[in-house]
A and B are shown apart, each in its own frame.
Chain A
Amino acid sequence: MELTSERLRPLEAAAAPASEAPGPPRRRRRPGGRLPGSTVLGIVISLAIVAPLLVVPLSLIGDGFALDPIARTLLPTAVRNSVVLAAGVGATSLVVGGGLAVLVSFYDFPGRRWLDWALVLPMAMPSYVLVYVILGQYGLASPLQSNLLGDGFRLPGIRSVGGAVLVLSAVLYPYVYLLARSALVGQSRQSIEAARSLGDGYGRAIWRVAVPLARPALAAGTALVVMEALADFGTVNLLGVQALTSGVYRVWNGGFDESAALQLASVLVGLALVLLLVERVLRGRARYHQAVGRGDAVVPRRLRGWRGWLAALPGVVLLLVVFALPVAQLVAWSWETATEGGLGVDLRTAITNTLLVAALATLAAVVTGTVVAYGLRARSTRLGRVSARLGTIGYAIPGTVVAVAVYVPLVWVDRHVVTAANDAFGWSVGLLFTGTVLGLVLAYLVRFHALSFFSVEARMTRINPNLDDAARSLGADHTRVLADVHLPLLRPGIVTAALLVLVDVMKELPVTALLRPLGRDTLAITVWEATKDSRIDAAALPALLIVLVGLVPVIVLVRLRQREGGAATLP
């Protein structure tokens, strides 16, 4: 569960009131003591990470809340499409993910154990790769022959909000499934049996007792899915849906209108915040799932004969359509391009570029995450807690917004600071931030620092504070405690952080699309551009590689579930 809950934590943190801040055990205040250096450093880093995002709301205030003409033209459609998209994906994922979780938790049928983990797999597929596979089925103009469904197969109406809802739900429902599954597993047999003793049938008891108890998990999973749908760029861009994210990109790279782009971005962020609030209200005080869970675990009811096969059908068909077939298609296309010698330099440079930026962003995020988490532990101040939480907001902000928000101040810095350095000292470094690896890595950091911080911090809270005190009483200062006590114990948290950031950066599309250094296309960019141009052959292997990379954390997640859950997960 660790990986999913890590993804949820930024959400929870952003929505939680200050007093509920996830943080290390409070430490006694040393009256009058100077703040430890690491605490100060942590605060500075957190604030620096969140600072660029302030550009976004400022764009509205700066123009006296007057909307730019382009923004005004695009807004009504974009808002409507984004809202419909988010609601549609949320509802579909809730029904599909929640329904499958109930089925797997309360019924036993052929293939259930296998389905339980396989249903998570579609998470590994970025939505733009799925769009690539779907649009690639219009085979006639492509030199590729190996279309599994024959040339010219198509999904009518795929280029619409409805099509985008289908594609996004196909890869996002696992979030709801995972959270619902773990909430349902934790429930006791007794509560179901109590309902049954009052005259309910098994199915009705599940619906009236088990599902309401899982409501917080269902709400959390759906909220996550809705956020991801709002933030999606690749699907709406490739399917030609005018949503807020594609609107920002369009205005930036076609209208060349900075303030209109920022205004659209502000609306997008506002919408995301409203949805967070709605989720909080819907979930209400419904935290009672933690109170139950005593007693025996639910034993799923065995379905025999045709009922068992019928129960297996939805999961199997779903997996076949959204995962197995698309992956098989990717393998077939890759094989075809590889055997025809279609690889060459482009793929190699795309892999190098991807690894280069992902590795740098990972290094940076691991350092910032560790510093901020440790700063909080060294001395937990209110300022420290608030700034640490602010620093994680970037994860809840769509990539297009982060890219635009980071770009604007960086250009300013480039113009003024770097030029000043040129003039004063004759240092000639050219542009340091604009369209460079550094600018890109900083934007990734704003977006993914949260993943690293939460992974490290989750691990750090598990280190007993007495260890710190013991080391301190032996005369060690804060850095010594960190070096000799914490870092060795933190290793698993740091590895998790590195893995999460690495994979997310390698799959990332909107930030990369807007800020990449020219001539350094990554795998994700290769897939995106080839899909736009209907050059299906050019992106088969890059797309397959992205899915394989995405599988790594999903497999780790599945193994963790199996190890932690053990008998409880799979009775």
Chain B
Amino acid sequence: MLSRLIRMRWPLPVAGVVVAGIIVGVTIATASDGGNTLVIYNGRSHYGDEQVFTDFEELTGINVELRGGTGPELYERLRREGDDTPADVLVTTDLANLWRAEEAGLLEPHELTPTLEANVPAELRDPAGAWVAVSTRLRVPVVSTERVPEGAVTDYADLGDPQYRGRTCLRTSNNEYNQSFVADRIAKYGLDATRELLESWMANDPEIVNSDGELLAVIAAGDCDVGLSNHYYLGRALLENPDFPVAPAWPDQDGRGAHANVSGVGVVTWSDDEEDAVRLMEYLTSPPAQELIVAGSEFAANPDVPPAEHIRDWADVNVDPIAVEEAGPLLDDAIALMLEVGWN
């Protein structure tokens, strides 16, 4: 190519135009919204979560394209893209992500179909109909089975017990699970009580890790004794290795119970495939798809589907569902509070 260019009269402009043309061409080719394809912005784990979508494709003949990212990434993109977005469906973790998306007008409220109403109980749906939950997850204290006696940790407050000073692990305050937890806490216990709780946690000088998975690995390796994690990460680790030396410490079992959050799905406001999008929502909450989701150790949104075999007794835990309508508007307060108490 170089030698042919050299013989041309205008080598640089020609090269420039050719290169620019190639780049724009590739951009348009890769950015196409795919016509009939149902584009899904998927914020749930991309490690093994794809099976449900492949099954949906096979069942319905609808082409699906998954585009992955973290919840905040997807929110930021959707917000920027607006009505030019290729996305039809947003599947994301955590109430915080669902609430923000709805608040920013990224998810369109719909009247729910009878199937959706049958699949998902009312407390796991957005009251306005912008999203429905596909799974629930508990955010609970987890403890080393080797260094923490059974029954020593029975509540969230125990993460602030001075005896665990320098032995606690937490995920960053930038994480939505933590933000939702704190917002829900503020909604139910008030700002002052929540500040007190977080200050006691911070007084233990927690080690900040990237993910719940890493947190469990760090406890198992002996760098921490206690931490806060979503239950399904522990479920997966136990499935991989039944002797994994970390156990859940179900909190506040005589009171409100363990904080339960959701992951959910909604139709993007600018979708041009709403019918297919709703079919996907129905499928994701139907028993066959819920079985696959449960296999990843989450709890099903559909009450007909029990937890996976290896964690079935976790179904008896007393849970405290997140206050869907009250916690969302408190997210900004939650973030400010976390920064105020020095939670990085």
> Do the beta carbons of A154 and B31 come within 8 Å of each other?
no
Chain B window 169-182, contacts with chain A (Cβ cutoff 8 Å), 1 for yes, 0 for no: 00010100000000
Is the CB of A233 closer than 8 A to any CB of chain B?
no
Q: How far is the CA of A142 from the CA of B84 in the complex (A)?
A: 40
> Do the beta carbons of A360 and B22 come within 8 Å of each other?
yes
Q: How far is the CA of A541 from the CA of B129 in the complex (A)?
A: 43
Quick one: which of B68-121 are within 8 Å of A by CB? 68-70, 72-77, 79-81, 84, 86
Would you give the shortest CB distance from B96 to chain A, in whole angstroms?
Answer: 10
Interface locus among B194-202, B220-228, B286-294, B317-325: B220-228
Minimum CB distance partner of B339 in chain A: A73
Q: How far is the CA of A238 from the CA of B241 in the complex (A)?
A: 25
Which residues on A sit within 8 Å (CB–CB) of B240?
141-143
Q: How far is the CA of A255 from the CA of B211 in the complex (A)?
A: 18
Known interface pairs A240-B344, A430-B86, A533-B211; A482-B67 also in contact (CB < 8 Å): no
Which residues on A sit within 8 Å (CB–CB) of B245?
140
> Do the beta carbons of A441 and B23 come within 8 Å of each other?
yes
Minimum CB distance partner of B208 in chain A: A240
> Do the beta carbons of A141 and B26 come within 8 Å of each other?
no
Minimum CB distance partner of B216 in chain A: A141
Is the CB of A571 closer than 8 A to any CB of chain B?
no
Is the CB of B189 closer than 8 A to any CB of chain A?
no
Interface locus among A168-176, A222-230, A367-375: A367-375
Which residues on A sit within 8 Å (CB–CB) of B222?
152, 154
Which residues on B sit within 8 Å (CB–CB) of A99?
none
> Do the beta carbons of B23 and A437 come within 8 Å of each other?
yes
Q: How far is the CA of A177 from the CA of B138 in the complex (A)?
A: 51
Q: Which of A141, A151, A254, A491 contacts B72 (CB 8 A)?
A: A254
Quick one: which of B1-57 are within 8 Å of A by CB? 2, 5-13, 15-16, 19-20, 22-24, 26-28, 30-33, 41, 45, 47
Q: Which of B5, B27, B86, B213 contacts A534 (CB 8 A)?
A: B213
Which residues on A sit within 8 Å (CB–CB) of B273?
none
> Do the beta carbons of B217 and A534 come within 8 Å of each other?
yes
Q: Which of A256, A482, A534 contacts B211 (CB 8 A)?
A: A534
> Do the beta carbons of B68 and A518 come within 8 Å of each other?
yes
Which residues on B sit within 8 Å (CB–CB) of A429?
28
Would you give the shortest CB distance from A484 to chain B, in whole angstroms?
Answer: 7
Chain A window 235-268, contacts with chain B (Cβ cutoff 8 Å), 1 for yes, 0 for no: 0001010100000001011111000000000000
> Do the beta carbons of B23 and A253 come within 8 Å of each other?
no
Known interface pairs A430-B31, A534-B213; A370-B23 also in contact (CB < 8 Å): no
Q: How far is the CA of A462 from the CA of B67 in the complex (A)?
A: 48
- Give the interface SS of chain B, mostly helix, strand, loop or mixed: helix
Q: How far is the CA of A152 from the CA of B30 in the complex (A)?
A: 42
> Do the beta carbons of A434 and B81 come within 8 Å of each other?
yes
Which residues on B sit within 8 Å (CB–CB) of A457?
none
Residue from B45, B66, B86, B174 with most neighbouring chain A CB atoms (10 Å): B174
Q: How many residues of B contact A (CB 8 A)?
A: 69
> Do the beta carbons of B23 and A371 come within 8 Å of each other?
no
> Do the beta carbons of A159 and B72 come within 8 Å of each other?
no
Would you give the shortest CB distance from B204 to chain A, in whole angstroms?
Answer: 15
Is the CB of B65 closer than 8 A to any CB of chain A?
yes
Known interface pairs A435-B77, A479-B9; A141-B217 also in contact (CB < 8 Å): yes
> Do the beta carbons of A154 and B81 come within 8 Å of each other?
no
Would you give the shortest CB distance from A491 to chain B, in whole angstroms?
Answer: 7
> Do the beta carbons of A138 and B31 come within 8 Å of each other?
no
Known interface pairs A367-B12, A437-B27; A152-B220 also in contact (CB < 8 Å): yes
Known interface pairs A363-B19, A535-B47; A135-B214 also in contact (CB < 8 Å): yes
Quick one: which of A387-434 are within 8 Å of B by CB? 411, 414, 429-432, 434
Is the CB of A356 closer than 8 A to any CB of chain B?
yes
Is the CB of B60 closer than 8 A to any CB of chain A?
no
> Do the beta carbons of A371 and B27 come within 8 Å of each other?
no
Quick one: which of B203-259 are within 8 Å of A by CB? 207-211, 213-214, 216-218, 220-223, 237, 240-241, 244-245
Would you give the shortest CB distance from A535 to chain B, in whole angstroms?
Answer: 5
Q: How far is the CA of A479 from the CA of B216 in the complex (A)?
A: 63
Q: Which of A437, A518, A521 contacts B77 (CB 8 A)?
A: A518
Q: How many residues of A contact B (CB 8 A)?
A: 68
> Do the beta carbons of A483 and B216 come within 8 Å of each other?
no
> Do the beta carbons of B12 and A363 come within 8 Å of each other?
no
Would you give the shortest CB distance from A328 to chain B, in whole angstroms?
Answer: 21
Q: Which of A74, A141, A431, A483 contacts B237 (CB 8 A)?
A: A141
Known interface pairs A437-B30, A517-B31; A41-B213 also in contact (CB < 8 Å): no
> Do the beta carbons of A518 and B11 come within 8 Å of each other?
no
Is the CB of A64 closer than 8 A to any CB of chain B?
no
Chain A window 421-462, contacts with chain B (Cβ cutoff 8 Å), 1 for yes, 0 for no: 000000001111011111001000000000000000000000
Is the CB of A199 closer than 8 A to any CB of chain B?
no
Residue from A152, A242, A534, A538 with most neighbouring chain B CB atoms (10 Å): A534
Q: Which of B8, B22, B220 contacts A141 (CB 8 A)?
A: B220
Known interface pairs A152-B222, A252-B76, A479-B11; A142-B24 also in contact (CB < 8 Å): no
Would you give the shortest CB distance from B42 to chain A, in whole angstroms?
Answer: 9
> Do the beta carbons of A432 and B24 come within 8 Å of each other?
yes
Is the CB of A488 closer than 8 A to any CB of chain B?
yes
Q: Which of A141, A156, A414 contacts B213 (CB 8 A)?
A: A141
Q: Which of A250, A431, A519 contacts B66 (CB 8 A)?
A: A519
Chain A window 151-170, contacts with chain B (Cβ cutoff 8 Å), 1 for yes, 0 for no: 11110100100000000000
Q: What are 9 contact pairs spanning A and B, CB under 8 A?
A: A73-B339, A240-B172, A250-B174, A253-B73, A363-B22, A434-B84, A435-B80, A533-B210, A533-B211
Having A41-B12, A240-B172, one finds 14 other A-B pairs with CB under 8 Å, namely A140-B221, A238-B210, A240-B209, A242-B344, A254-B72, A363-B22, A371-B12, A431-B31, A432-B24, A435-B80, A482-B12, A484-B6, A491-B2, A533-B47
List the interface of chain A (C-beta within 8 A of B): 38, 41, 70, 73-74, 77, 135, 138-143, 151-154, 156, 159, 238, 240, 242, 250, 252-256, 356, 360, 363-364, 367, 370-371, 374, 411, 414, 429-432, 434-438, 441, 479-480, 482-484, 487-488, 491, 494, 517-521, 531-535, 538
- Closest A-B pairs by Cβ, 9 of them: A519-B67, A534-B213, A518-B67, A138-B217, A438-B27, A140-B220, A152-B221, A141-B217, A240-B208
